[in-house]
Chain A
């Protein structure tokens, strides 16, 4: 029980727009164990960002609960870092790369030498030592993404949330960043919840893949990825196990797009199905 890092139960979110309510998330229940890397895939507009913002304590849910290490999340919790979908806009343009990575550490009350050491280590981990004194707008999209990741890493979170972080970088950079996330996750032992709409990416990165239905969103299925811990862009992606998991998730996402849902308004059945896959 104490190994559970994130516990999301019956999470619901309805946006009340002007006169027209949008039920983005209907009923999400899942758990992420400490040190796990779990990917969430779903069609665009499925409510992935909504889910992440609720988990991050940035958005009030309309129902259900989110617990981090057994403590209910009511606002941004300590020990959680978020890499936003709009990573470029999440960097402070008036600060240098070093300043961006260091600001949260300053707020934590770390002294200057400790801060400098952690910032340098984080920038080295993402391969950005040479750009420490540049401003974010002087960097390419892929490099900006690395800065956002370095900032999250330097913060030393116990849980890292990432929202489609590689959606708008080129394929080569994307592959590099995927490996970077795997490496950081293994080195730091951090729990990662990684949101993406890219099925291959989800299977390549995750130990488990949560497939979301379309809106109003529920968990369609919790797919366990049986791939070795050491993954490699070439060999892993061409392995039969990868193809099998990929096909399984692909099929589920296709079904989600067609509006397939687990069971018509049967909360009990859904809770049961997530329960079995979580254990199995």
Chain B
């Protein structure tokens, strides 16, 4: 346990130390010493910016991500279960997936405006949707035929089959899609804030940069990085609990 923690923390510690040493005597305006950045942290991220920049960003990320999760899984199950629907949807999905989500920001802003939350939430949701949707389709499609037959022959109802067989059986793929979507979501959370002069984490970084508050700008970037790590840690925790069977199954298959 401690060994694993040491291994996991090893490289970050080395990198931070290297940054610290290399930047120690820096006089460059754009590359302040790490010590200066760290010193700026507590004064930059006080209660007010946390309440007005960090929390709204997180709220929008959560809302967009959850919408994508619900819509993606629901549509994915429907498309994955029906061969005809899949044949109809596949070309359209491939096209839509190829569109980089950031270009949607101006389009969505036409309807919802740049400053409000709606544009940002919709952008995040649309970006997160594709990895979740496509992975769910694949997960449902590749569900073992024998399991489906088993569910049918024991006359499991639609709801039980959906919950106990289809969703659980495709949960490893859904989780893989959800993990991809999480990093897409964080990126879109920042990008969607770069357009409008609103508040938010990404907006704060731009604000600091425009005000030449360079150490503060760096604290914002570091905070975003930490946020990403925290979210992926949270994700792993959930995944660890719900997909224990899948890890066991994979391991058992490898040992054969």
Chain A positions within 8 Å of B, measured between CB atoms, are 53, 56-58, 75-76, 78, 80-82, 84, 86, 89-90, 92-95, 103-104, 106-107, 135, 137-138, 151, 155
B153 touches A107 (CB 8 A): no
Query: Measured between C-beta atoms, what is the minimum distance from A4 to chain B in Å?
Result: 21
In the complex with contacts A94-B245, A107-B156, A137-B147 CB distance below 8 A: no
Distance A105 CA – B154 CA, assembled complex (angstroms): 9
A89 touches B152 (CB 8 A): no
Q: List 30 A-B residue pairs with CB atoms under 8 Å apart, sorted by A's residue number.
A: A57-B153, A58-B149, A58-B153, A76-B152, A76-B153, A82-B149, A82-B150, A82-B153, A89-B146, A90-B146, A90-B149, A90-B150, A92-B164, A92-B168, A93-B245, A94-B245, A94-B246, A103-B154, A103-B160, A103-B164, A104-B154, A104-B155, A107-B156, A107-B160, A137-B245, A137-B248, A137-B249, A137-B252, A151-B154, A155-B154
A89 touches B144 (CB 8 A): yes
Cβ of B248: which chain A residues have Cβ within 8 Å of it? 135, 137-138
Cβ of A82: which chain B residues have Cβ within 8 Å of it? 149-150, 153
Cβ of B25: which chain A residues have Cβ within 8 Å of it? none
Cβ of B152: which chain A residues have Cβ within 8 Å of it? 58, 75-76
Query: Measured between C-beta atoms, what is the minimum distance from A120 to chain B in Å?
Result: 19
B156 touches A135 (CB 8 A): no
Distance A104 CA – B154 CA, assembled complex (angstroms): 6
The answer to whether B157 has its CB under 8 Å from any CB of chain A is yes
In the complex with contacts A84-B146, A86-B146, A93-B153 CB distance below 8 A: no
- In B126-185, which residues have CB < 8 Å from any A CB? 144, 146-147, 149-150, 152-157, 160, 164-165, 168-169, 171
Assuming A81-B153, A92-B165, A93-B245, what are 4 further A-B pairs, CB within 8 angstroms?
Answer: A94-B171, A94-B246, A106-B160, A137-B249
Which of B149, B157, B252: most chain A CB closer than 10 A? B149
B249 touches A84 (CB 8 A): no
Mask, B87-116, CB within 8 Å of A = 1, is 000000000000000000000000000000
Distance A104 CA – B153 CA, assembled complex (angstroms): 10
Distance A94 CA – B171 CA, assembled complex (angstroms): 10
Cβ of B157: which chain A residues have Cβ within 8 Å of it? 107
Distance A84 CA – B149 CA, assembled complex (angstroms): 9
Distance A106 CA – B155 CA, assembled complex (angstroms): 11
In the complex with contacts A92-B168, A135-B248, A137-B249, A107-B155 CB distance below 8 A: yes
